Chain A
Amino acid sequence: MKPARFVALLLRRLATGLITIVGVTLVTYLVLAELPGDPLAALTPIDQRMALSVDQRAQLRAELGLDRPVLMRYARWAGRLLGGDFGRSVRTRRPVFTEIRRRLRPTIELSVASLLLVTCIGLPLGWILAKRAGSRADTATSSLLLVLYALPSFWVAIVLQNLLAVSWGLLPLYGRTPAGGDPGLWGRLPFLILPAACLGLHQLAFYTRFARNTALDGINSVHALFARACGLREGRVMLTHGVWPSLVPLATLIGLILPSLVTGSILIETIFSWPGLGRLFYQAVLSRDTPVVLGMTVIIASLTIVGSLVSDLLASTLDPRQRRGKEAEL
Chain B
Amino acid sequence: MAGLALRSTHPLTLPIFLSALLFSLLAGCQGPAKPPEARDTVRIPIPTDPAEFSFARAHEIWSLVLTEYIGDSLVSYDDQLAIQPRIASSWEWTDAGTTLVFHLRQDMAWHDGLPVTSTDVLYTVKVMQDPKLATTSRAAAFQEISGVRAPDRYTVEVKYDRPFAPALAGWTAPILPAHRDLEDEEHIGCGPWIFDRWETGERIVLRANHEHAISPPLLEGLEFEVISDYSTRYAALRAGRIDVCPLLPKQHDALDADAELSTRYKVVSYRLLYFFYLAWQGAGEDSLFEDPRVRRAMTHAMDRRGLIDRFFSGRGTVGITTFHPDTWAFDDSIDPWPYDPERARELLSEAGFRDSDGDGVLDRDGRPFRFTLLISQSSKYNEMIATLIQSELAKIGVEVKIEAHEFAVFLDRIRSRDFEAMLSGWHLDLEPDPFELWHSSQALKGPNYAGLQDAKIDEWIEAAREEFDLTRRRGIYSKIQKRLHELEPETIFFYPTSSMAYDARIEGFEAGPAGPFRSSPGPCAWHWISSPALAD
In the complex, is A directly touching B at CB under 8 Å?
yes
* Chain B positions 96-149 with a Cβ under 8 Å from a chain A Cβ: 131-132, 135-140, 143
- If the complex has contacts A139-B8, A171-B29, A271-B232, are A50 and B424 also in contact, measured as CB distance less than 8 A? no
User: Is A177 at the interface (CB under 8 A from chain B)?
Assistant: yes
User: Is A73 at the interface (CB under 8 A from chain B)?
Assistant: no
* Chain B positions 175-226 with a Cβ under 8 Å from a chain A Cβ: 199-203, 223, 225-226
Residues of B within 8 A of A37 (CB): 406-409, 411-412
User: How many Å from the CB of A57 to the closest CB on chain B?
Assistant: 10
Contact between B232 and A177, CB atoms less than 8 A apart: no
User: Is A81 at the interface (CB under 8 A from chain B)?
Assistant: no
Contact between A168 and B17, CB atoms less than 8 A apart: no
Encode contact with B along A256-299: 1 for CB under 8 Å, 0 otherwise: 00000000000000111111100100010011100000000000
- If the complex has contacts A41-B407, A286-B408, A287-B407, are A134 and B2 also in contact, measured as CB distance less than 8 A? yes
Residues of A within 8 A of B415 (CB): 38, 44
User: Is A165 at the interface (CB under 8 A from chain B)?
Assistant: yes
User: Is A173 at the interface (CB under 8 A from chain B)?
Assistant: yes
CB nearest to B134 among chain A residues: A56
Residues of B within 8 A of A134 (CB): 1-3
The one of B1, B61, B227, B445 that contacts A174, using a Cβ cutoff of 8 Å:
B227
User: How many Å from the CB of B363 to the closest CB on chain A?
Assistant: 32
Contact between B426 and A273, CB atoms less than 8 A apart: no
- If the complex has contacts A138-B3, A190-B29, are A286 and B202 also in contact, measured as CB distance less than 8 A? no
Residues of A within 8 A of B202 (CB): 175-177, 273, 275
The one of A52, A161, A177 that contacts B135, using a Cβ cutoff of 8 Å:
A52
User: Is B265 at the interface (CB under 8 A from chain A)?
Assistant: no
- If the complex has contacts A139-B3, A270-B228, are A173 and B235 also in contact, measured as CB distance less than 8 A? yes
- If the complex has contacts A41-B407, A144-B17, are A174 and B232 also in contact, measured as CB distance less than 8 A? yes
User: Is B429 at the interface (CB under 8 A from chain A)?
Assistant: yes
User: Is B534 at the interface (CB under 8 A from chain A)?
Assistant: no
Residues of A within 8 A of B424 (CB): 46-47
Contact between A170 and B30, CB atoms less than 8 A apart: yes
CA gap between A31 and B48 in the complex, in Å:
27
Using a Cβ cutoff of 8 Å, how many contacts connect chains A and B?
196
* Chain A positions 111-159 with a Cβ under 8 Å from a chain B Cβ: 133-136, 138-144, 146-147, 158
Contact between A169 and B408, CB atoms less than 8 A apart: no
CB nearest to A162 among chain B residues: B235
Contact between B32 and A51, CB atoms less than 8 A apart: no
Residues of A within 8 A of B238 (CB): 166
CA gap between A4 and B1 in the complex, in Å:
46
Residues of B within 8 A of A47 (CB): 274, 424-427
Encode contact with A along B1-45: 1 for CB under 8 Å, 0 otherwise: 111111011100110011000100110011111000000000100
Pick the interface stretch among B52-60, B304-312, B323-331: B52-60
Contact between B200 and A38, CB atoms less than 8 A apart: no
- If the complex has contacts A47-B425, A50-B436, A142-B5, are A169 and B228 also in contact, measured as CB distance less than 8 A? no
User: Is B376 at the interface (CB under 8 A from chain A)?
Assistant: yes
Residues of B within 8 A of A133 (CB): 2
User: How many Å from the CB of A214 to the closest CB on chain B?
Assistant: 14
Contact between B408 and A140, CB atoms less than 8 A apart: no
- If the complex has contacts A48-B426, A175-B202, are A165 and B235 also in contact, measured as CB distance less than 8 A? yes
Contact between B232 and A147, CB atoms less than 8 A apart: no
Interface size class of B (residues with CB under 8 A): 35 or more
The one of A59, A174, A179 that contacts B132, using a Cβ cutoff of 8 Å:
A59
Contact between B235 and A46, CB atoms less than 8 A apart: no
User: Is A320 at the interface (CB under 8 A from chain B)?
Assistant: no
Residues of A within 8 A of B235 (CB): 161-162, 165-166, 173
User: Is B229 at the interface (CB under 8 A from chain A)?
Assistant: yes
* Chain B positions 52-78 with a Cβ under 8 Å from a chain A Cβ: 52, 57, 59-61
CA gap between A242 and B525 in the complex, in Å:
69
Contact between B429 and A49, CB atoms less than 8 A apart: yes
User: Is A55 at the interface (CB under 8 A from chain B)?
Assistant: yes
User: How many Å from the CB of B481 to the closest CB on chain A?
Assistant: 20
Residues of B within 8 A of A65 (CB): none
CA gap between A59 and B135 in the complex, in Å:
12
CB nearest to B239 among chain A residues: A173
Contact between B412 and A36, CB atoms less than 8 A apart: yes
User: Is A92 at the interface (CB under 8 A from chain B)?
Assistant: yes
Residues of A within 8 A of B229 (CB): 174, 270-271, 273
Contact between B412 and A56, CB atoms less than 8 A apart: no
Contact between A177 and B406, CB atoms less than 8 A apart: no
User: Is B51 at the interface (CB under 8 A from chain A)?
Assistant: yes
User: How many Å from the CB of A100 to the closest CB on chain B?
Assistant: 11
- If the complex has contacts A50-B447, A139-B5, A287-B408, are A92 and B52 also in contact, measured as CB distance less than 8 A? yes
CA gap between A270 and B10 in the complex, in Å:
37
User: How many Å from the CB of B104 to the closest CB on chain A?
Assistant: 27
Residues of A within 8 A of B376 (CB): 46
CB nearest to A130 among chain B residues: B2
Contact between A41 and B408, CB atoms less than 8 A apart: yes
User: How many Å from the CB of A207 to the closest CB on chain B?
Assistant: 17
User: Is B446 at the interface (CB under 8 A from chain A)?
Assistant: yes
User: Is A23 at the interface (CB under 8 A from chain B)?
Assistant: no
Interface centre among B22, B408, B409, B414 (most CB of A within 10 A): B408
Contact between A173 and B25, CB atoms less than 8 A apart: no
CB nearest to A90 among chain B residues: B51
Residues of B within 8 A of A279 (CB): 201, 228
Residues of A within 8 A of B484 (CB): none
- If the complex has contacts A140-B9, A169-B32, A190-B30, are A43 and B414 also in contact, measured as CB distance less than 8 A? no
The one of B2, B138, B140, B225 that contacts A175, using a Cβ cutoff of 8 Å:
B225
User: How many Å from the CB of A94 to the closest CB on chain B?
Assistant: 9
Interface centre among A144, A173, A272, A279 (most CB of B within 10 A): A173
The one of A136, A147, A193 that contacts B29, using a Cβ cutoff of 8 Å:
A193
Encode contact with A along B460-500: 1 for CB under 8 Å, 0 otherwise: 00000000000000000000000000000000000000000
User: Is A249 at the interface (CB under 8 A from chain B)?
Assistant: no
User: How many Å from the CB of A89 to the closest CB on chain B?
Assistant: 9
User: Is A54 at the interface (CB under 8 A from chain B)?
Assistant: yes
Contact between A140 and B14, CB atoms less than 8 A apart: yes
User: Is A164 at the interface (CB under 8 A from chain B)?
Assistant: yes
User: Is A80 at the interface (CB under 8 A from chain B)?
Assistant: no
CB nearest to A92 among chain B residues: B51
User: Is B241 at the interface (CB under 8 A from chain A)?
Assistant: yes
CA gap between A241 and B5 in the complex, in Å:
25
Contact between A49 and B239, CB atoms less than 8 A apart: no
The one of B32, B227, B232, B410 that contacts A168, using a Cβ cutoff of 8 Å:
B32
CA gap between A128 and B25 in the complex, in Å:
20
Residues of A within 8 A of B268 (CB): none
User: How many Å from the CB of B106 to the closest CB on chain A?
Assistant: 33
User: Is A91 at the interface (CB under 8 A from chain B)?
Assistant: yes
Contact between B408 and A170, CB atoms less than 8 A apart: no
Where the two chains meet, the residues of B that have a C-beta atom closer than 8 Å to any C-beta of A are: 1-6, 8-10, 13-14, 17-18, 22, 25-26, 29-33, 43, 48, 51-52, 57, 59-61, 131-132, 135-140, 143, 199-203, 223, 225-229, 231-232, 235-236, 238-239, 241, 274, 376, 406-412, 414-415, 424-427, 429, 436, 445-447
Q: Give 22 A-B contacts (CB < 8 Å), ordered by A residue.
A: A37-B412, A38-B411, A44-B411, A46-B376, A48-B61, A49-B138, A49-B427, A50-B436, A53-B140, A56-B135, A59-B131, A136-B8, A136-B13, A142-B2, A169-B32, A170-B30, A174-B227, A174-B229, A270-B229, A274-B201, A286-B406, A287-B407
Which 9 pairs from chain A and chain B are nearest by CB? Answer: A275-B201, A37-B408, A169-B32, A169-B33, A41-B408, A51-B59, A48-B427, A102-B200, A51-B137
8 further A-B pairs in the complex, CB-CB below 8 A; given A37-B411, A46-B411, A146-B5 = A50-B447, A53-B131, A161-B235, A164-B22, A176-B201, A179-B43, A179-B225, A271-B232
